Structure 1
Amino acid sequence: MEKDQLIAEMKKIVGEENVLHSKEALYAYSYDATPGHIYMPDVVVSPGNVQEVSAIMKFANEHKIPVYPRGSGTNLSAGTAPLKGGIVLLMLRFNKILDLDLENLIAEVEVGVVVQDINDYVAPHGLIYPPDPGTVKTASLGGTICENSGGLRGLKYGITKNYVQGLEVVLANGDIIHTGGKNVKDVSGYDMTKLFTGSEGTLGIITKAYLKLVPKPEAQASMIAVFNTLEDAGNAVSDIIAAKIIPATMEILDNASIRTVEDFMHVG
């Protein structure tokens, strides 16, 4: 299909203002946070609802056009780099927290919402959404689901798949499906929610998720322990876990890392 025709068809679906095709715009979406992967797309399209995503996927499927769902582009696996051109499907207009069910401790969230914003939203209710990737203040929910992101709190709380209870997904042919839901004991049939979690956009376009929330710890504190060797530090970590003490996070910094941070931040 000619590029101009593709652009025209996308404008029909999402509106002219939600289609980017200038050279500068295409370059901006030709890469993500992964070094060394730059591939130019043919067009960048920003759908605003699941019906538009469905229409785009139906069209792309019919004409064999590759589609790359993208959120904030913070991943390090080149998952949003448009390797074979085609359509970059920018999901940042899906930016609403649709519902907070305090009886079931479930949040219904669109995939363009930034992870930190979810925690800011539920914090007044004494709740947290535990997954905290290093890019928590910029990463979109959809990207963290597609990458099955973890984070420093993974030691205590686990990773993204442990907190995604249901999904709304648009398949390659444009069909809209729903997996899982609010029920904790949802054990009949295949666990399609976990199949899509971590699939990096290869199985469908995730548009909405039901997220499990947990109570915020009543208190928190930080501490620093200094060791003479890395081996001693590693043994201390093992001893802490063996003692059935599970901190929210633990991190080891060697001397070179500490000096690098100090040279940059001058924290003393």
Structure 2
Amino acid sequence: MASQALIRDFEDLIGKENVFSSEADRQSYSYDSAVLTPVVPALVLRPTSAEQLGACVKKLYDNGLPMTVRGAGTNLSGGTIPDSSDSVVILTTGLNRILEINSDDLYAVVEPGVITAQFAAEVAKKNLFYPPDPGSQAVSTIGGNIAENAGGLRGLKYGVTKDYLMGIEFFDATGEMVKSGSRTVKCVTGYNLAGMMVQSEGTLGIISQAILKLVPPPKASKALMAVFENVQDAAEAVAGIIAAHVVPCTLELLDNNTIVRVDDFTKAGLPREAGAILLIEVDGHPAQVADDAE
């Protein structure tokens, strides 16, 4: 556990309510969604501004303490589990503001603690579209999405988080601010540090702000379900769809075991006797949607 003097320093810096030093609190941040051995951190900090974040990183660096960055902790790779018991966890959930949604130039500026689904909903209110849709989007954060390069069912057609990151601000291990990228689609100036931060899992720096590309929403969409006797037939159908140059918005295969268990939980009325099903969604211009669905 961190010294009382250091704890008081952080309480003065970010507020007592944002410094978690009790055993129960530290235990809460010793694990994530990966099935790995928990490691209890020495301290947990929750800065609520970029300035506080940079100051926390610098103080930890100056005191020789390792740090682990954590968003919502939904990742499955163990990326938010501390490396050692003297590590300090820095939560980014307090940095949760949408700073700008620009409808003219099709971008948004957000802090790392913004919840993915909430961000997508705010973008939709502006008649715009943010495609990345990880399964954890109801609770996962944009910063975590970047660190893990999160995707989802729409990845086949629209890509994943890396395809929408235009710029980034982050603090390096010493607490120095680093900026990369821009608010323009074409940016060929300097190193692509934003691309380097994607999939870095918090090992290269702590994100304080991100610029994300937005796109116009599709004018129409249609959902379909195709039923097959076995998984092989369903897999061949997937190959046939792509070979026909149809790129669905989403395309999900469920085998019989999955069908039954999903139906037990959701009571959705799925075909429980099917060997496999494909859940498909096509989107775009209404005429094209009709053709693709056919």
For normalisation by structure 2, the TM-score amounts to 0.88
Question: Does the 8 Å contact 1:96/1:109 carry over to 2?
Answer: yes
- CA distance in structure 2 between the aligned counterparts of 1:266 and 1:129, rounded to whole angstroms: 30
Letter of the aligned partner of 2:179 in structure 1?
A: H
**Paired residues for 1:171-190 under 5 Å:** 171-190=172-191
Is 1:194 aligned to residue 195 of structure 2?
Answer: yes
SS at match of 2:221: coil
Is 1:216 aligned to residue 217 of structure 2?
Answer: yes
SS at match of 2:6: helix
Question: Does the 8 Å contact 2:103/2:128 carry over to 1?
Answer: no
- CA distance in structure 1 between the aligned counterparts of 2:145 and 2:238, rounded to whole angstroms: 27
- CA distance in structure 1 between the aligned counterparts of 2:50 and 2:263, rounded to whole angstroms: 47
Question: Does the 8 Å contact 2:148/2:199 carry over to 1?
Answer: yes
Question: Does the 8 Å contact 2:36/2:78 carry over to 1?
Answer: no
**Paired residues for 1:138-177 under 5 Å:** 138-177=139-178
Is 1:111 aligned to residue 112 of structure 2?
Answer: yes
**Paired residues for 1:54-133 under 5 Å:** 54-85=54-85, 86-133=87-134
**Paired residues for 1:40-55 under 5 Å:** 40-55=40-55
- How many residues align? The count is 268
**Paired residues for 1:241-252 under 5 Å:** 241-252=242-253
- CA distance in structure 2 between the aligned counterparts of 1:208 and 1:95, rounded to whole angstroms: 10
Task: List structure 1 segments (4+ residues) > 6 angstroms apart after TM superposition.
Answer: none
Calculate the aligned-residue CA RMSD, in Å: 1.3
- CA distance in structure 2 between the aligned counterparts of 1:36 and 1:180, rounded to whole angstroms: 35
Question: Does the 8 Å contact 2:168/2:207 carry over to 1?
Answer: yes
Structure 2 runs not aligned, ≥5 long: 270-294
CA deviations on 1:153-190 (whole Å, 9 max, x unpaired) are 10000010000100110111111111101111111332
CA separation of 1:48/1:2 partners in 2, compared to 1, >3 Å: closer, same or farther?
A: closer
Letter of the aligned partner of 2:120 in structure 1?
A: N
SS at match of 2:191: coil
SS at match of 1:172: coil
- CA distance in structure 1 between the aligned counterparts of 2:161 and 2:78, rounded to whole angstroms: 19
For normalisation by structure 1, the TM-score amounts to 0.96
Question: Does the 8 Å contact 2:50/2:95 carry over to 1?
Answer: no
- CA distance in structure 2 between the aligned counterparts of 1:100 and 1:261, rounded to whole angstroms: 36
Percent identity between the aligned chains? 42
Superposition deviation, residue 100 in structure 1: 1.1
CA deviations on 1:189-213 (whole Å, 9 max, x unpaired) are 3211100111111110001100000
Question: Does the 8 Å contact 1:37/1:78 carry over to 2?
Answer: no
SS at match of 1:222: strand
Structure 1 runs not aligned, ≥5 long: none
Is 1:18 aligned to residue 18 of structure 2?
Answer: yes
- CA distance in structure 2 between the aligned counterparts of 1:185 and 1:51, rounded to whole angstroms: 29
Question: Does the 8 Å contact 1:3/1:42 carry over to 2?
Answer: no
SS at match of 1:251: strand
What's the counterpart of residue 228 of structure 1? 229
Question: Does the 8 Å contact 1:112/1:141 carry over to 2?
Answer: yes
What's the counterpart of residue 5 of structure 2? 5
SS at match of 2:13: helix
Letter of the aligned partner of 2:118 in structure 1?
A: D
- CA distance in structure 1 between the aligned counterparts of 2:2 and 2:226, rounded to whole angstroms: 62
Superposition deviation, residue 2 in structure 1: 5.1
Letter of the aligned partner of 2:190 in structure 1?
A: G
CA deviations on 1:89-109 (whole Å, 9 max, x unpaired) are 011111110011111100001
- CA distance in structure 2 between the aligned counterparts of 1:98 and 1:2, rounded to whole angstroms: 34
Question: Greater relative contact order: 1 or 2 (C-alpha under 8 angstroms, separation 6 or more)?
Answer: 1
